[in-house]
Structure 1
């Protein structure tokens, strides 16, 4: 996972904007965002694509477009691309519909209807319960708690959930979670492949050297195929 969506641990980006550190900021900054969230969830629930495909779609944005757009604009790009690529609706059809609509008013926070359709009730249940991705596995975990590991130097264009700044960094396994579905196989093959997942502890000095701003431990959840034993 490389690109503008993977900026954790990078230098020179400045502090987080204070407004994002304060509690009580609006759930949706712009009126379209709640609708974008709902469209994405409904498409996933109906089997149009899965969550990892949607995440990978965002990674395919041009860097300049990604950095010059908002969080839910990234979702819009990915969902439209997936629906086009899978034959549900074309980019041209979306553009034509936009020309028909013009710029209609959009109520920021529409109220929940008194009467919900069965699908709406199903969607609410899905959103509240989440979609667990743990899977049974016949394979034993390769790393025990306390094992010293090093993160593999992965530079692949395929989807993964490995923060780039952890590449080649040494850490210690502190927890075994069991097996969960592999994001790459889910995104590119649309299959559930069980891979063991671990919590790994890294020191700030190991990550950023003796000049690290603070002395602390960072914990990351990493799949087994992202790790190697320390020789």
Structure 2
């Protein structure tokens, strides 16, 4: 979606803080917000792309006025309410009403998944639409739904640099419409193609893009 989260290439946001000593959590509540998000996610009521969309699909004032983990907490609260995992009364009172109706996930399975991690790569043998070296045009994707194609590269031409293989397509996965397996590529764009003639001529940007975002360049 064209939300406030899609800030790539925008001016006026100031420098990015890259402090290497910045802690992962700045307060105990942030640690708990992260833990609650993981714990509720293991109930299987939503997936990672649904969760991303819930964080991004917010009013710009709310999104830009919230810290990173505030967005995580607001998103998981909305997901829990939307899927019936919690009720509005439970949120308001902080008291669970029906623990028996939502049994906890198997702790051994949770621990195993956390140790191994989760990958969106699929074993499907879907043929690629493009080969390495092909020139491609990024489609003008304008949608209120979830999408992973950055706004700044839409309508721009690049070259397939590598094929990562077949992956879950986030645009359908986020909305419960299946994984729609397809190839995801690293597409190389020149800086001047994205930012204009004033960009350094040697600059290049690599963006991971799925089949459905691309078409052959004219």
TM-score above 0.5: yes
Unaligned runs of 5+ in 1: 99-117
2:42 counterpart of 1:45: yes
From 138, 147, 151, give the equivalent of 1:151. Answer: 138
* 1:74 maps onto 2:50 in alignment: no
1:24 CA drift (Å): 2.1
- Aligned residue for 2:2? 2
- Given that residues 204 and 214 in structure 1 are in contact (C-alpha distance below 8 angstroms), is that contact kept between their aligned partners in structure 2? yes
Contact 2:138 2:156 in 1 (8 A): yes
* Residue deviations 1:109-128 (CA, integer Å, cap 9, x gap): xxxxxxxxx95554343223
Deviation of 1:67 (Å): 0.7
Unmatched tracts of structure 2, length 5 or more = 96-104
- For residues 75 and 210 of structure 2, the distance between their equivalents in structure 1, rounded to whole angstroms, comes to 25
Question: Alpha carbons of 1:177 and 1:72: their partners in 2 closer, same or farther (altered >3 Å)?
Answer: same
Aligned residues of 1:182 and 1:195 also touching (Cα < 8 A): yes
Deviates more, 1:68-77 or 1:182-191: 182-191
1:16 aligns with 2:16: yes
| Matching residue within 155, 174, 194 for 1:207 | 194
Name the counterpart of 2:91.
94
1:161 aligns with 2:148: yes
CA distance in 2, matches of 1:91, 1:58: 19
Which residue of structure 2 lines up, in the alignment, with residue 179 of structure 1?
Answer: 166
When normalised by structure 2's length, the TM-score is: 0.89
* Conserved? CA contact 2:3–2:57, under 8 Å: no
CA distance in 2, matches of 1:214, 1:42: 47
Give the secondary-structure state (helix, strand or coil) at the position aligned to 1:201: strand
Shift of 1:173: 0.1
> C-alpha separation between the residues in 2 aligned to 1:183 and 1:131?
14
Q: CA RMSD in A?
A: 1.9
**Take 1:186 and 1:166, find their aligned partners in 2: how far apart are those partners?**
22
Q: Is the 8 A contact 1:54 1:79 kept in 2?
A: yes
Measure the CA separation in 2 of the matches of 1:155 and 1:43: 31
Q: Structure 1, residues 56-79: CA drift from partner, whole Å, max 9, x if none? A: 111221111111110111111111
Q: Structure 1: how far apart are the matches of 2:28 and 2:41?
A: 21
Alignment: residue pair count? 209
Deviation of 1:6 after TM superposition, in Å, equals: 0.6
Distance 2:143 2:107 in 1: 39
Cα distance between partner residues in 2 of 1:214 and 1:16: 23
